[in-house]
């Protein structure tokens, strides 16, 4: 699995179903290629890392992307993967995010995960 992807596991199984209503999930993550905590950039934008679902994968996977925080739970996606992965939401989409547990092995942390397009 390429760096930056997160693979879902459930009870040691490599398969699970995506549950959009849950705010936490048990996940085993691959190496995260970058991590940016709300960093102000030119023009006062607040940039952070959010994770976007990869709908074409056989198991639940999320990919980290850079996003501008617009306020409340709304973010504008600024980056996209350099190669093949198809993201549920693409560059320039304005999405709503919530905290969800992502991790590797026994270490899990709350990460921002995009779950729907913002109106």
Q: Is residue 111 part of a domain?
A: yes
- Position 16 confidence tier, pLDDT thresholds 50, 70, 90: very low
Q: Is residue 1 part of a domain?
A: no
Checking if the pLDDT of 101 tops 60, the result is: yes
Q: Which range marks the domain in which residue 46 is found?
A: 6-117
| pLDDT band, residue 41 (cuts 50/70/90) | low
Which of residues 12 and 77 earns the better pLDDT score? 77
Number of domains in the chain: 1
Q: Could you read off the pLDDT of 42-54 as tens digits, one per residue?
A: 567 899 999 999 9
Q: Is 104 exposed, middle or buried (0-12, 13-18, 19+ CB in 10 A)?
A: middle
């Amino acid at each position: 699995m390429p760096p930056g992807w997160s693979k879902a596991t459930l009870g040691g199984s490599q398969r699970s179903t995506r549950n959009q209503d849950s705010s936490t999930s048990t996940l085993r993550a691959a190496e995260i290629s970058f991590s940016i905590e709300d960093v102000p950039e030119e023009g006062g934008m607040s940039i952070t890392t959010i994770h976007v679902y990869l709908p074409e994968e056989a198991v639940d996977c999320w990919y980290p992307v850079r996003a501008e925080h617009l306020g409340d739970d709304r973010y504008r996606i600024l980056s996209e993967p350099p190669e093949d992965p198809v993201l549920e939401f693409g560059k320039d989409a304005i999405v709503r995010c919530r905290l969800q547990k992502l991790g590797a092995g026994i270490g899990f942390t709350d990460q921002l995960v995009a779950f729907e397009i913002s109106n």
